[in-house]
Amino acid sequence: MKKIGSVKRAVIFGDSYSTFAGYIPEGYATWYSTREIPETDVTRVEETWWYPLCADLGIELVLNDSWSGSTLGHTGYSGDCSKTSSFIFRLERLIENGFFEKETVDTVFVFGCTNDSWANAPLGEIMLDNHKHEDLFSVCPAIGYFAKRLREVLPEANIIFMINTELKPEIGEAIKVSCAHNGEYALELCDIDKRCGHPTVKGMSQIGEQLKEFIENN
């Protein structure tokens, strides 16, 4: 694995953990905002994992493509999300719209699969190539496809998958294997403080600190 290169212009693919109202595309569902609710104590964008990381490392966040409740694969809580919110759908839409041709991106942070785990989406088997559309409704093949497509469209970029705590072990393993196969990085997070399954201010800081250390030491 080559050393992580310049991290200056980044894209995030995420779920609720990476949202903040006003900082994600219009129409996307969000979890975090300035509202004070019992479910979270995060009420400032400066308290997210990504905002201070970008400030500390001088990273321009080109796009925060994060949708609360979204799954990486096509099986969401209500079934098929292949044409709405899945990570795969959103990536393919960006590719189709020429986003990566218009924008210079040197780093991608992928922080997902929490909802795939919570929604009890079919796990399937790790699959690194020759995917068919129906394979993308199972988590492990979907991870392999997403990692492959990212590397195809961004052959020189730093692609870092972040593995949440408390995921089904099969999902974490699929991320590690897929990253190794595609020359990508897998950061296994630990000891994240949460409320209602979501990072608190403390938890966000823990995520950001672990990611910053990972970037600086790889």
Please choose, from the candidates 171, 85, 168, 111, the residue with its C-alpha nearest in 3D space to the C-alpha of residue 77. 85
| Nearest CA-CA partner of 187 in 175, 197, 171, 204 | 175
Residue 158 backbone zone (phi > 0: left; psi -120 to 50: alpha; other: beta)? beta
Model pLDDT for residues 16-32, shown as the tens digit of each residue: 999 999 999 999 999 99
Tens digits of per-residue pLDDT, 162-171? Answer: 999 999 999 9
If pLDDT is split at 50, 70 and 90, which confidence band does 37 have? confident
pLDDT at 160 over 80: yes
| Domain limits for position 191 | 9-216
pTM beyond 0.95: the answer is yes
How many structural domains does the chain have?
Answer: 1
Work out the number of other CB atoms within 10 angstroms of the CB of residue 80.
Answer: 11
Each residue's pLDDT tens digit, 182-208: 999 999 999 999 999 999 999 999 999
- Strand partners for 11: 63, 108
**Residue 1, domain member (yes or no):** no
Q: What CATH number is given to the structural domain containing 120? A: 3.40.50.1110
Return the beta strands (E) in the chain as ranges.
Answer: 9-14, 60-66, 75-76, 79-80, 107-111, 158-163, 185-188, 194-195, 198-199
- Residue 107 contacts residue 160 (beta carbons within 8 Å): yes
- Whether 61 is covered by a domain: the verdict is yes
One-character DSSP codes across 109-162: EEE--HHHHHTT--------S---GGGGGSHHHHHHHHHHHHHHH-TTSEEEEE
Residues above pLDDT 90, as percent of the chain = 97
